[in-house]
Chains A and B, each alone.
Chain A
Amino acid sequence: DAGVTQSPTHLIKTRGQQVTLRCSPKSGHDTVSWYQQALGQGPQFIFQYYEEEERQRGNFPDRFSGHQFPNYSSELNVNALLLGDSALYLCASSSGRADSPLHFGNGTRLTVT
């Protein structure tokens, strides 16, 4: 039973570029949430997808967008990268309610230079 898988594990981009991160949820889960975790900080909620729609969104600019596919996998896109976007991006899957326990992937470490 595969858990949450994310790709790539590491990524280096330059300012102004665009990036796409991918996530496959745990088997049986239909909801995907994305979090940004800067060094020494707790994860910050970006958004949550359910039934291929954005159900909830945190306080992130429109440069951050996402998508959920019919197989429940998800993508996080970030446009016009800034140095401050450097962080660990965590995908978490869950099922049912919006406050259901989250199962996290190992994350994608994004470095913007």
Chain B
Amino acid sequence: RKEVEQDPGPFNVPEGATVAFNCTYSNSASQSFFWYRQDCRKEPKLLMSVYSSGNEDGRFTAQLNRASQYISLLIRDSKLSDSATYLCVVFRGGADGLTFGKGTHLIIQP
């Protein structure tokens, strides 16, 4: 089982819709979790950290389920500019750096 797994998509979603995707991680000792966003041919950028209690930033909501070892990202009222690849990132500590998933490709259609 891969350390961080994501559905690669693409998710084709109409503008204004709500979309959600999950990411599963294999190591129960993982400590920190993040969502990064990467536009085509650009560098990844931090979207939000994911806290145990769940957190919200505008139209974006991130949640962590430690028991089932997954994190989720919910985007409400999606905009055309939300089209990007969303990378799930996990940190398990020790000698490892941040581990990235392959990303979920999201396409918002007008």
A-B contact pairs, 26 of them (CB 8 A): A40-B102, A41-B102, A42-B100, A42-B102, A43-B87, A44-B100, A45-B97, A45-B98, A45-B99, A47-B97, A48-B97, A56-B95, A56-B96, A58-B96, A90-B44, A98-B93, A99-B31, A99-B32, A101-B34, A101-B46, A101-B49, A102-B44, A102-B46, A103-B46, A106-B42, A107-B43
- B102 contacts across to A, CB distance below 8 A: 40-42
Query: Which residues on B sit within 8 Å (CB–CB) of A35?
Result: 100
Task: State whether A42 and B101 are in contact (beta carbons under 8 Å apart), knowing that A90-B43, A104-B44, A107-B43 are contacts in the complex.
Answer: yes
Q: How far is the CB of A102 from chain B (nearest CB, A)?
A: 7
Collect the chain B residues with CB atoms within 8 Å of residue A99's CB. Answer: 31-32, 91, 93, 98
In angstroms, Cα B45 to Cα A26, docked, is 14
Tell whether A15 is near chain B: CB-to-CB under 8 Å: no
Chain A residues within CB distance 8 Å of chain B: 33, 35, 40-45, 47-48, 56-58, 90, 98-99, 101-107
**Chain B: which residue is nearest A35 at the CB level?**
B100
Total A-B pairs, Cβ < 8 A: 53
| Chain B 27-54 interface mask (CB, 8 Å, partner A; 1/0) | 0000110101000001111100100000
Q: Point out the residues of chain B lying under 8 angstroms from A47, CB to CB.
A: 97
With A98-B91, A101-B34, A104-B44 given, can you name 7 additional A-B contacts, CB distance below 8 Å? A40-B102, A42-B103, A43-B100, A45-B100, A58-B97, A101-B46, A106-B42
B100 to chain A, nearest CB (A): 4
| Bound form: Cα–Cα A103–B99 in Å | 15
Question: Closest CB-CB distance, B67 to chain A, in whole Å?
Answer: 21
Please state if B43 and A105 are interface contacts (CB–CB under 8 Å): yes
CB-CB contacts below 8 Å: B7-22 with A: none
